[in-house]
Amino acid sequence: MSAWTARRFWTAATVRPEGAGFAVLLDTRPVRTPLKAPLILPTEALAHAVAAEWQAQTGIVNPAKMPFTRTANSAIDKVAPQFSEVAAMLAEYGGSDLLCYRATDPEDLVARQAAAWDPLLDWAARALGAPLTVTQGVIHIAQPETSLAALGAAVLALSPFQLAAFHDLVAITGSLVLALAVTRGRLTAEEAWTVSRIDEDWQIEAWGQDEEAAETAALKRAAVMQADRFYALCG
């Protein structure tokens, strides 16, 4: 059975232990991923979150309303088979982390970035063993190899399910440091989102809000919150 069944046919979505994890059943049928792999979740809590999404479907199944299921599918079908490549891609963000590239002016924006970002870089140096160099402007600067290695090791320590959620935390904020700060409890997801938006928020204050940009930002914020919840349920 494909995970993306066109129309609801089941009465109840339930959870049962399956090997080292937990399966989601639609009545008696186990859910499978789009590539037909068994959808086995690492924790009972995550399995119940996925089951709740299936239980909430009425009529035509709407994948857009099933973010936990989508991320779990991605973890199994995409991340696990190429774990090293995905981890390496995300680790590369450490070489061009948002927090390391600062505005040259105006003074107010420069001060906001320093106040929010400097403590997080101090945390990365202390907690992760990864001091990073800061520059003004957008011209790329090389980071210490030992720092990049430490950040890469932190990413490689994640499970495929964690990495699937971690991907969104990194890609949406543009910062490996922010993503690690969230997953290690240094920041909440809401705080990380706010910190990642310092430049955009300053522009809004100066020039006003653009309706289309606001809608895009709202979608990205929701994705960050969802990634954080998924990661937390991985156990």
Q: Give me the pLDDT at residue 7, please.
A: 87
One domain, residues 9 and 111: no
User: Domain check: are 96 and 161 in the same one?
Assistant: yes
Distance CA 109, CA 93 (A): 23
136 alpha carbon, distance to own chain's centre? 27
Are the C-beta atoms of 121 and 177 separated by less than 8 Å? yes
Distance of CA 59 to the CA centre of its chain: 30
Q: Are 198 and 113 in contact (CB under 8 A)?
A: yes
Same domain (yes/no): 42, 100 = no
Q: Residue 69 falls within a domain, yes or no? A: no
232 Ramachandran zone, left/alpha/beta (phi>0; psi -120 to 50)? alpha
> Is residue 222 in a domain?
yes
Q: Which domain holds residue 31?
A: 1-63
Would 16 be classed as within a structural domain? yes
- 199 occurs within a structural domain: yes
Question: pLDDT digit string (tens) for 100-112?
Answer: 999 999 999 999 9
How many domains are there within the chain?
2
* Domain termination site, one of 63, 90, 117: 63
pLDDT confidence of residue 1:
36
* CATH number for position 86: 1.10.3580.10
Q: Strands 13-18 and 29-30, how do they pair?
A: unpaired
Q: Are 48 and 90 part of one and the same domain?
A: no
What is the 8-class DSSP label of residue 144? P
pLDDT score, position 84? 98
Is there a single domain that holds both residue 211 and residue 96?
yes
- pLDDT-flagged residues of the chain (< 50): 1-5
68 found inside a domain: no
